[in-house]
Amino acid sequence: MKLLKYLAAILFILFILVNVLTRLPIVQDRIMMTALNNAVNATAELPDNALSALVCGSGPPLTSPGAAQSCILIKAGDEYFIVDIGDGASANLMNWGIDVQKVKAVFLTHLHSDHIADLAELHLMNWVTASRQSKLKVYGPEGVSNVTEGFEATYALDYKFRNEHHGNEIAPIEVAGFDPYTINLDEPVIYNKNDLKVTAFEVEHDPVPAVGFKFDYKGRSIVISGDTKYSQKVIDGAKNADVLFHENQANHILEMMNKPLMNAGRPQAATVMKDIVTYHTTPTEAADIANKANVDHLVFYHHVPYPRISIMERVHLRGVNEVRSKDKWTFSKDGTLIVLPLNSNEIKITSIN
């Protein structure tokens, strides 16, 4: 009992001491310097001897707390590439300490807002203080140059102001902006450099022109579906890949949302829920696609609607285990990291958070 009293007294004195000390500028400055040193040196280590994919946005078009809109970062060797850059994705990359100055190109699956919204933020982080020798390369379907020109027009003054303020060394005006490349599916290999081959294939997201991408690097492969309804084209495009990232929409939950929306006096929102049923893939359909494509592992991403609680996640994924064995798929979150080491069949699934 006596010992406990002594302990309580010591703890109380320590508490007071910490409280007093952390109010002294000299102590605050020491703590700040340590924190700042850690912050500027904090870079997330993704391996060089692998093909890796980091989910920088697992969420739906209607944003959800904790989930950015669509984004996958690919790392092949020591180079980074971005597939789609929805709202919140750039902040994720920065918060995780990803060196976005190493991003060589952006690949857009299609031009819906939840896949392009953060392009300007990514551009800024990849431009100021970066050693980029040219404008940021952006590959996408028909219309991609409208998007990049639109961003350039909106940010023209920002480019000018930053260049005038920081100078050409830090913010070189001649490489501010984008270099768009319109994907022509008659020539599906859109990138082939330093052992990385990127192949585009058509998917079905009518009325939106949309593609998926296959990344091949030194014997390992990752396929990303983009937005699509159930499609044989994805099965063909993903054939025998190591990992398939597939979008997923739980239509049974959208149906459940109809009544609450109508009761809440929101008939237009209820109509939107009905409209989107036709151009996405359900979780069980995605599992079926992964089986037919003979891929080793399926990663669900771009979850519509985004499950906010674990019971909703269970309802969302109802029936998936009956189609595909439990150890053959992953329901990704922002930060899910897939690493495919070279010269191996291994698939490492972790999280950067």
Decide if residue 112 touches Zn ion (CB under 5 A). yes
Burial of 341 (0-12, 13-18, 19+ CB in 10 A): middle
Residue 112 or 297 having the CB closest to Zn ion: 112
118 interacts with Zn ion by CB under 5 A: no
Q: Which of 114, 121, 152, 334 binds Zn ion (CB under 5 A)?
A: 114
Q: Minimum CB separation from Zn ion for residue 67, in Å? A: 13
Residue pair 229/210 in contact (Cβ under 8 Å)? The answer is no
- Give the number of residues in contact with Zn ion, rule: CB under 5 A: 3
**25-35: buried (b, 16+ CB within 10 Å) or exposed (e) per residue?**
eeeeeeeeeee
Omega within 30 of 0 (cis) for the link into 283: no
> Minimum distance from CB of 282 to Zn ion (Å)?
15
Contact code string over 221-240 relative to Zn ion, x by CB under 5 A: ------x-------------
> Nearer to Zn ion by C-beta: 104 or 110?
110
Closer residue to Zn ion (CB): 112 or 220: 112
Closest contact distance (angstroms) between CB of 145 and Zn ion is 19
How far apart are the C-alpha atoms of 80 and 89, rounded to whole Å?
Answer: 15
Note the Cα 152 to chain centre separation in Å: 23
Backbone angles phi, psi at 117, to 5 degrees: -60, -30
CB of 308 to Zn ion, least distance (A): 18
Angle at which helices 267-275 and 251-263 cross, to 10°: 170
Kindly state the DSSP code that residue 133 receives in the 8-state scheme: S
In whole angstroms, how close is the CB of 279 to Zn ion at the nearest point? 7
Segment near Zn ion (CB under 5 A); pick from 112-120, 193-201, 228-236, 270-278: 112-120
Can you give the binding site for Zn ion, defined by CB under 5 A? 112, 114, 227
